[in-house]
Amino acid sequence: MIKLAIYGKGGIGKSTVSCNISSALAAKGLTVMQIGCDPKADSTALLHGGERIPTVLETLREKGKAMKLEDVVYKSSGGVLCVEAGGPIPGLGCAGRGIINALEHLEKFGANEVYKPDVIIYDVLGDVVCGGFSMPMRRGYADKVFVVASGEKMARYAAANICMAVENFRSRGYSSLGGIILNRRDVENEDEAVAQLAADFDTEVIGAIDRSTEISSADDRGEAIVLTKPGSKSAAQFMAVAQRVYDICRTSKGDRYA
């Protein structure tokens, strides 16, 4: 089993990237579980026609000890097992603590043993890299962290903060940095700026997604483009990124490619 986390600032397109990577890997016959670790609970919406699924935290509030795994794990039409951690009631509680609570409950219920995923993808809001938002970086969760960035200044700033957090946690035996995924926004010198960001942290840009109205339209329809337009250029780019992510994670675990 490989486990990875995808981080990026709000609005950078990390959930679009995560959903398309999940769909691409599931299409290869792998059992994939995507866990949304954003209080907005919209990580997996593209896998369910734009609809949000019930979250772990809201289900816990509703059912308490009666909650079962099948109440919070939903299989998409493309075969991806989807979970949303969720967040506290607005104005009450800590979103970071909520993520910790949700992940601990999935572990308690033995989600990995029940569903036996080949790949687990944590989709994490990256504007904050403390508390529960750093949980997927910790021992026993993700083995590799991939950061979605563009050439925009704030996206690069957030990506740098995430990379620094990964470096700090790595000294404790936690996740290591797998690379940067460039989600282009067509700003000046974008490729060069993101390549320099990667070099600053001794990593690489593992793939790039061009800005595309096809992707935007698919997002608006609540669709993963690798499933609805598999022959498109955008789908090919997502599939190439998915394969690269998979290969990096497999290599780091010393496994041979299937």
Q: Which pLDDT score, from 0 to 100, does residue 128 have?
A: 65
Q: Which CATH architecture has domain 2-251?
A: 3-Layer(aba) Sandwich (3.40)
186 is a catalytic site residue: no
108 catalytic? Reply is no
For position 16, what pLDDT does the model report?
Answer: 96
pLDDT of residue 98: 74
**Domain ranges (residues) in the chain:** 2-251
Listed as ranges, residues in the chain with pLDDT below 70 are 87-96, 127-132, 139, 253-258
Choose the catalytic residue: 9, 123, 143, 144.
9
* Element of type H or E holding 34: strand 32-37
Q: How far apart are CA 32 and CA 35, in angstroms?
A: 10
Residue 153 falls in the annotated catalytic set: no
Residue with tokens 């329809």: 221
Q: Could you say which of 42, 71, 118, 127 is catalytic?
A: 127
Helices and strands (DSSP H and E) totals, the chain: 9, 8
Cα–Cα dist 37/100, whole Å: 9
Residue closest to 179 by CA, chosen among 11, 48, 16, 17: 17
User: CA-to-CA distance for 21 and 221, rounded, in angstroms?
Assistant: 18
Q: Which of 3, 14, 143, 219 is catalytic?
A: 14
Active-site residue flag, 40: yes
Structure tokens that stand for 107 in this block:
């572990």
Predicted confidence at residue 258, as pLDDT, reads: 41
Kindly name the residue from 28, 40, 75, 229 that is annotated as catalytic: 40
The confidence score (pLDDT) of residue 28 equals 95
